[in-house]
A and B are shown apart, each in its own frame.
Chain A
């Protein structure tokens, strides 16, 4: 029965070979530009930076460190806590020597799914397609000392249990909703507006909204979630947007808005400037608001979050959109951002305002 054993072992080895070859060819095919890009992205997905770098065009002046920072992020940026989830590639142009491929990349990040459209240039290197990675521009930042006067509010609470009757802690800051607008968009009801901190101390604000039907019954409850800058410094204004999926304005009689505001500790730094803001069309012809973020002081911002408020000619808020920036903001260095704008509203937008919210990993 040795023959039988040999046959069984051979079958087992064949099955293992079939499974391995199937998987290996799927991952290491560089015969076509699209397959080569997919193989490259597979390495990116697995965070195998050495392997991914080896699939780029050699001698193109790409610094490996910059390559890894570009794909894997640094300085605690959102990219450092992201991983490539899916990709969808489309060949824009192809010749025997090179090809342009547009990849719709879906990243899984710490703040949810992030979509990125990136154009890759592929070159044929002796029959093997490689990624022509663009060399990173040299940083123009000059090392210098920046004065920083830290300004910060701390909250000292009285013990609540033994308080004398009639005496209480410092009141929450005065917040006021300065505009509000309810619209219907793609089968959803959206509540838009702006809230201002009118006080002289920083405050934390969250806005909940309840839709009421004709009988006064609650039919849906949602919150501003991350479509608001929760911590507002004195006189700071934040937009907010509350989405009610699968609702119609016609079924709503009124909206009950309940803002929550409390006194919180906060820091006045960093100050983020929003430069060169302009509404443009992207490569797919969609309207976007584009600009650059620059930290004015000497601090680093790990994860910036951009909130854009769009107004019509009467000054009414007609849309609020947001976007996370996957690069960290280093002092004095411009980092580009884009925020989507609904194409149907692009013509109505008369004015807009950008608010930058942020998360720093060392912030408590």
Chain B
């Protein structure tokens, strides 16, 4: 039985021989960023090795048969590399991939930088996981988000990154102050500050007392519904409606937690207080009061 005819046999022989000669470059399929890579060659005589890749172009003179070592710094960018060995008129090329190394850096975007307390889903954090050479680590990696104001326990939210990105939406805490928003992977972490500020005033109350020919109105310490004092400078509007005398208004500023203003003393006048869209109590100024 004749399995192969002579022509076929000759063809296979030529192919094997030529492929044997083509195996001049030995490169790994993949390399990890930072680890470096060895590229082996076969044969004899001098040759030139060219390496091209993302942001990289290298040239080495060598003798065939030598093994060339590329350091981690020389192939710092993840992606597809091509090694070309040129010897005389012969040229051989091989491709290999450099993949991102272990997470070494987190690019962390936290929004907003300032947020009212006790609001659901108002804080967003996005982390891009990078290796030491800023290559995106696309392998799923657990990222731990933590949010907490100094002095209180931080809430922890583990998230696994997807294609190098991990994100979270969180509610603001009840306590005002500079909240530490931290994203971490192992011992690698990034920290941002989200200022948690008081929300709208709650239970806005004022009191009034005569001051000569005027009325001095003053709020009680103004706080939001979580008990945080509203920041100084917040506008509090005192109004007085007094029939024929018309209406008087003063946009007072909160200072040291309270707002005060002076209004004309008109008997029978109605005094009211508001801040933004929040209304406070009313006082009717009459008689001897």
Which residues of A are in contact with B by a Cβ distance under 8 Å? 149, 151, 153, 165-168, 170-171, 178, 196, 198-202, 233-237, 268-269, 271-278, 291, 296, 353-356
- B114: chain A residues at CB < 8 Å are 170-171, 199-201
CB within 8 Å for A274 and B249 given contacts A202-B233, A235-B234 = yes
27 A–B contacts, CB within 8 A, in A order: A151-B233, A165-B107, A167-B192, A168-B113, A170-B113, A170-B114, A171-B112, A198-B276, A233-B233, A234-B230, A234-B231, A234-B234, A235-B200, A235-B236, A235-B276, A236-B235, A236-B251, A271-B253, A271-B261, A272-B250, A272-B251, A273-B250, A274-B248, A274-B249, A276-B248, A296-B262, A354-B249
Identify which of B107, B235, B248, B261 contacts A166 (C-beta below 8 A).
B107
B153 CB, nearest partner CB in chain A, Å: 25
Complex interface bits, B206-247 against A, C-beta within 8 A gives 1, otherwise 0: 000000000000000000000000111111100000000111
The 10 closest A-B pairs by CB, nearest first: A278-B246, A235-B276, A273-B250, A268-B253, A275-B248, A200-B197, A234-B234, A236-B235, A200-B231, A166-B109
Cβ-Cβ contact count across A and B, 8 Å cutoff: 101
- A268: chain B residues at CB < 8 Å are 232-233, 253, 255
Complex interface bits, B139-182 against A, C-beta within 8 A gives 1, otherwise 0: 00000000000000000000000000000000000000000000
A100 CB, nearest partner CB in chain B, Å: 28
| Chain B residues touching A, range | 35 or more
A76 CB, nearest partner CB in chain B, Å: 22
Q: Which of B192, B230, B261, B262 has the most CB of A within 10 A?
A: B262
CA gap between A199 and B111 in the complex, in Å: 15
Say yes or no: B248 contacts A234, CB within 8 Å: no
- B231: chain A residues at CB < 8 Å are 200, 234
- B261: chain A residues at CB < 8 Å are 271, 273, 296
Say yes or no: B246 contacts A273, CB within 8 Å: no
Q: B263 interface residue, CB < 8 Å from A?
A: yes
Q: B108 interface residue, CB < 8 Å from A?
A: yes
- B113: chain A residues at CB < 8 Å are 168, 170-171
Say yes or no: A233 contacts B253, CB within 8 Å: yes
Say yes or no: A153 contacts B233, CB within 8 Å: yes
Complex interface bits, B102-133 against A, C-beta within 8 A gives 1, otherwise 0: 00000111011110100000000000100000
